[in-house]
């Protein structure tokens, strides 16, 4: 089977194949032609479909998000590039007050089949306005589906599902998983990805590694850091299970709870801000479903509630690293040991 | 932007120029009367339970209420020129646009009353009205209509369909960045879009002189190289004249236009507005330009209606509205369980 490195080519291929299948699919956004939306999610599409279907917009997030709302209501299936998720501030009204609500407010009359592709995450020195993930903000608001692929296989299959969904779906592609030459890469070096179209169902978490002693739960880039941490912990005799959430909305609570019940200990690793975000929500859902099986309080490792700083040692201090994941995992086991000792 | 009232000779000339018919003008009169009666009936029902203390949450209609009494000519000068397939994106003050686009008064009233039979089954309310079949939508967020109408226009142009999208917005909304952004994109892509600025002189409570750097918003549109019309928004014929050109241009694929219609709302920005920002005298001066009585006077001068006929049309409009409100009031409220359905399609 053909192999890919990174999520960018996989996402672009999913969009390409849906464009070939459905003339209603159009791509809108900044630099979506020559630059492939900067992070590669639309690369090659202008050459195949031309500027009529791959439309470079002026740098006006609120207006092209609003156009996506109007175009979707009028029967197109827009794929909108939000170059960096950090730029949502310039377009958020049209997203959360209209894109996410018009279907509901209209009593189900208005369909809103919009896919938003956005690049997220830090770790390469782009500082406070170009390094956030912010998926928790969107997951908080009713009406968005929130997809965070960690692998190229998932990136293609989930993006295809997103484009076929009648609702607004946001695909959060981590920059350090894109496989582009100008960025560090922490994904899988070679991954088998089918060339023909396929879907990965929204709302199914994936157990990436099985383990007995604790469960590490993460999304996007943090899945890979958890897998590396699990490797290292295995060398210390600690067996860590790694669960990839894949989609925050819809959320596969069942898989998370089942893993928590198996291992009895849970560490949630999140690149989003700590408070009022994914880590708290998952902890709540897990305790509600696995309280009796938990051997220690759930722990979390997320970006402490500060903006992402620029200087390298500062940035490293706030974005969860393999080292910090290992430390937290050990602490969780220590806490569990302490709790079970007389 | 008050324009001189045409003499009898000029009136006939304008009617001929604008290809106006007796039926067409009588229908415009009827629709304006329906809107007026509808808004007044809503005002009356909205006030129930809100005295002596004004409490937005009490009475048969809850929440804010923005009515368009006085602004009928803007909606009726534009919307009847559209077909069902054409899109309208309206504002927080949407009833006149909806009625002029052909939305059923009963289902509109039922939505305003939060009933199961409403346009949106009670989930939208007065500022969030949608009618899929008529391609009518609105938003309670100021400045939001421009890009959404442009998006519909983009879809029409993309598929090569001869359909037009209209964005309504106030002169205050046109201070929003979306106005400038949408003008740029719409001209760039020659979208079949008509932007109608309903300039009622006040952005909420803020008079135009305190909020606009130029006298008019259409002046800004000129910088984007597109036709921009300044019309008398209290004169349905004047609005219609510009709208016809703009809509034809859009439908023929020759790009967008802007119409700024200067008008006046007789009621407050919202029901309950104490209106400290304007004088009674100003309101009376604008009432002298009332769009319904001006059209009525012209219908008489043209010999197309006498006082009795006009009175009959007004009475029929009131009957339509009474039936709509009665339908709303006897309709059931939605089941609370419905609140949890329909987030996703």
pLDDT tens, position by position, B274-322: 999 999 999 999 999 999 999 999 999 999 999 999 999 999 999 999 9
Number of domains forming the structure of chain A = 2
Q: What is residue B291's predicted lDDT score, i.e. its pLDDT? A: 98
B124 at A interface, C-beta within 8 A: yes
pLDDT tops 70 at residue B73:
yes
pTM of the model: 0.94
Q: Where are the alpha helices (DSSP H) in chain B?
A: 8-17, 22-47, 72-78, 95-101, 105-112, 145-159, 177-188, 208-211, 218-222, 236-251, 280-287, 291-301, 307-330
Q: Which of A63, A75, A106 sits opposite B178 (nearest CB)?
A: A63
In the residue annotation, A98 being an active-site residue is answered as no
Based on the fold, state whether residues A165 and A211 are members of the same structural domain. Answer: no
Q: How far is CA B337 from CA B328, B332, B333, in A?
A: 20, 14, 12
Based on the fold, state whether residues A169 and A317 are members of the same structural domain. Answer: no
Annotated catalytic residue within A13, A61, A191, A315: A61
Hey, how many other C-beta atoms are within 10 angstroms of the C-beta on A313?
7
Residue A120's CATH number: 3.40.50.970
Range of the domain at A149: 3-192
Q: Which of A161, A192, A223 is the last residue of a domain?
A: A192
Domain-embedded: residue A199: no
Sign of CA dihedral A211, A258, A142, A318: negative
CA distance B5 to chain A (A): 39
Q: Which of A192, A227, A254 is the last residue of a domain?
A: A192
Based on the fold, state whether residues A246 and A140 are members of the same structural domain. Answer: no
The tens digit of pLDDT for each residue in A172-187 reads 999 999 999 999 999 9
In the residue annotation, A61 being an active-site residue is answered as yes
Please, which residues bridge with residue A91 across strands? none
Contact yes or no for B181/A65 (Cβ under 8 A): no
Based on the fold, state whether residues A173 and A224 are members of the same structural domain. Answer: no
> Mean pLDDT in chain A?
96
User: Domain ranges in chain B?
Assistant: 8-333
For residues A289 and A282, what is the distance between their CA atoms, to the nearest angstrom? 11
Please, which residues bridge with residue A84 across strands? A119
- From the list A108, A196, A217, A112, the residue with the least C-alpha distance to A162 is A112
Based on the fold, state whether residues A163 and A289 are members of the same structural domain. Answer: no
Based on the fold, state whether residues A76 and A100 are members of the same structural domain. Answer: yes
Domain-embedded: residue A58: yes
Q: Which of A138, A162, A192 is the last residue of a domain?
A: A192
B209 at A interface, C-beta within 8 A: no
For residues A264 and A166, what is the distance between their CA atoms, to the nearest angstrom? 38
Q: What is residue B4's predicted lDDT score, i.e. its pLDDT? A: 87
The tens digit of pLDDT for each residue in B178-225 reads 999 999 999 999 999 999 999 999 999 999 999 999 999 999 999 999
Q: What is residue B1's predicted lDDT score, i.e. its pLDDT? A: 59
Cis peptide before A313 (omega within 30 of 0): no
A338 at B interface, C-beta within 8 A: no
The tens digit of pLDDT for each residue in A60-79 reads 999 999 999 999 999 999 99
B139 at A interface, C-beta within 8 A: yes
| Token digits of residue A140 | 């908080």
Q: Residue B57, class by beta-carbon neighbours within 10 Å (0-12 exposed, 13-18 middle, 19+ buried)?
A: exposed
Q: What is residue A339's predicted lDDT score, i.e. its pLDDT? A: 53
Residue A286's CATH number: 3.40.50.920
Please, which residues bridge with residue A247 across strands? A147
Helix (H, G, I), strand (E, B) or coil at B62: coil
Q: What is residue A1's predicted lDDT score, i.e. its pLDDT? A: 83
Band of residue A340 on the pLDDT scale cut at 50, 70, 90: low
Based on the fold, state whether residues A119 and A244 are members of the same structural domain. Answer: no
Based on the fold, state whether residues A179 and A239 are members of the same structural domain. Answer: no
Band of residue B243 on the pLDDT scale cut at 50, 70, 90: very high
DSSP state of A97: I
Q: Which CATH superfamily is domain B8-333 in?
A: Thiamin diphosphate (ThDP)-binding fold, Pyr/PP domains (3.40.50.970)
For residues A120 and A82, what is the distance between their CA atoms, to the nearest angstrom? 10
Band of residue A337 on the pLDDT scale cut at 50, 70, 90: low
Please count the residue pairs, one from chain A and one from chain B, whose beta carbons lie less than 8 angstroms apart.
145
Strands A25-29 and A77-84: parallel
> Mean pLDDT in chain B?
97
Domain-embedded: residue A260: yes
Read off the pLDDT of each residue in B39-52 and give the average, rounded to a whole number: 96
Q: Which of B132, B141, B152 sits opposite A71 (nearest CB)?
A: B152
Contact A68 B151 (CB under 8 A): yes
Based on the fold, state whether residues A18 and A144 are members of the same structural domain. Answer: yes
């Amino acid at each position: 089977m053909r192999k890919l490195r990174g999520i960018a080519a996989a996402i672009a291929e999913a969009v390409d194949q849906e464009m070939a299948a459905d003339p209603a699919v159009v791509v809108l956004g900044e630099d979506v032609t020559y630059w492939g939306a900067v992070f590669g999610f639309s690369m090659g599409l202008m050459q195949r479909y031309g500027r009529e279907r791959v439309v470079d917009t002026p740098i006006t997030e609120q207006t092209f998000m609003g156009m996506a709302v109007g175009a979707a209501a009028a029967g197109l299936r827009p794929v909108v590039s939000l170059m960096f998720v950090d730029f949502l501030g310039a377009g958020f009204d049209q997203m959360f007050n209209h894109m996410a609500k018009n279907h509901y407010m209209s009593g189900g009359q208005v369909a809103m089949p919009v896919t938003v592709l956005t690049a997220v995450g830090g770790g390469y020195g782009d500082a406070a306005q170009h390094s956030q993930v912010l998926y928790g903000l969107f997951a908080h608001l009713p009406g968005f589906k929130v997809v965070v692929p960690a692998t190229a296989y998932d990136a293609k299959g989930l993006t295809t599902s997103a484009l076929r969904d009648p609702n607004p779906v946001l695909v959060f592609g981590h920059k350090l998983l894109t496989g582009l030459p100008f960025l560090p890469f922490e994904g899988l070096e070679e991954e088998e990805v089918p060339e023909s179209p396929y879907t990965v169902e929204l709302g199914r978490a994936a157990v990436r590694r099985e383990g007995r002693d604790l469960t590490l739960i993460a999304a996007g880039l943090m899945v890979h850091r958890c897998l590396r941490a699990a490797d290292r912990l295995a060398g210390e005799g600690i067996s860590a299970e790694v669960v990839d959430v894949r989609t925050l909305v819809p959320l596969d609570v069942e898989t998370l709870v089942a893993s928590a019940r198996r291992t009895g200990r849970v560490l949630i690793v999140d690149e989003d801000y700590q408070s009022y975000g994914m880590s708290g929500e998952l902890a709540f859902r897990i305790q509600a479903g696995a309280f009796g099986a938990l051997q220690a309080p759930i722990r979390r490792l997320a970006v402490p509630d500060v903006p992402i700083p620029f200087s390298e040692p500062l940035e490293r201090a706030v974005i969860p690293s393999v080292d910090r994941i290992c430390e937290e995992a050990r602490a969780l086991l220590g806490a569990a040991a302490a709790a079970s000792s007389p | 932007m008050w324009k001189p009232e045409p003499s009898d000779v000029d009136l006939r000339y304008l009617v001929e120029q604008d290809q106006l018919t007796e039926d067409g003008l009588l229908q415009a009169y009827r629709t304006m009367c329906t809107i007026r009666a509808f808004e007044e009936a809503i005002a009356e029902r909205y006030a129930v339970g809100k005295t002596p203390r004004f409490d937005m949450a009490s009475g048969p209609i809850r929440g804010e209420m923005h009515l368009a009494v006085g602004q009928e000519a803007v909606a009726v000068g534009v919307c009847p020129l559209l077909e069902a397939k054409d899109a309208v994106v309206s504002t927080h003050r949407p009833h006149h646009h909806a009625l002029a686009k052909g939305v059923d008064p009963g289902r509109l009233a039922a939505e305003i009353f939060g009933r199961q039979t409403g346009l949106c089954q009670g989930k939208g309310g007065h500022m969030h009205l949608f009618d899929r079949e008529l391609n009518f939508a609105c938003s309670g967020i100021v400045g939001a209509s421009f890009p959404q109408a442009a998006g519909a226009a983009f879809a029409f142009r993309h598929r090569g369909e001869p359909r037009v999208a209209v964005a309504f917005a106030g002169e205050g909304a046109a201070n929003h960045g979306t106005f400038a952004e949408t003008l740029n994109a719409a001209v760039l892509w020659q979208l079949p879009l008509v932007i109608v600025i309903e300039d009622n002189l006040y952005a909420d409570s803020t008079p135009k002189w305190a909020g606009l750097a130029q006298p008019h918003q259409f002046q800004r549109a000129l910088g984007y190289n597109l036709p921009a019309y300044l019309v008398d928004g209290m004169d349905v014929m004047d609005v219609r004249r510009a709208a016809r050109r703009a809509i034809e241009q859009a439908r023929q694929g020759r790009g967008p236009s802007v119409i700024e219609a200067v008008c006046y709302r007789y009621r407050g920005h919202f029901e309950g507005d104490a209106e400290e920002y304007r004088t009674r005298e100003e309101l009376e001066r604008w009432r002298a330009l009332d769009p319904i009585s001006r059209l009525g006077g012209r219908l008489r001068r043209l010999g197309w209606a006498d006082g009795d006929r006009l009175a009959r049309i007004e009475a029929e409009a009131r009957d339509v509205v009474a039936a709509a409100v009665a339908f709303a009031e006897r309709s059931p409220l939605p089941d609370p369980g419905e609140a949890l359905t329909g987030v996703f399609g």
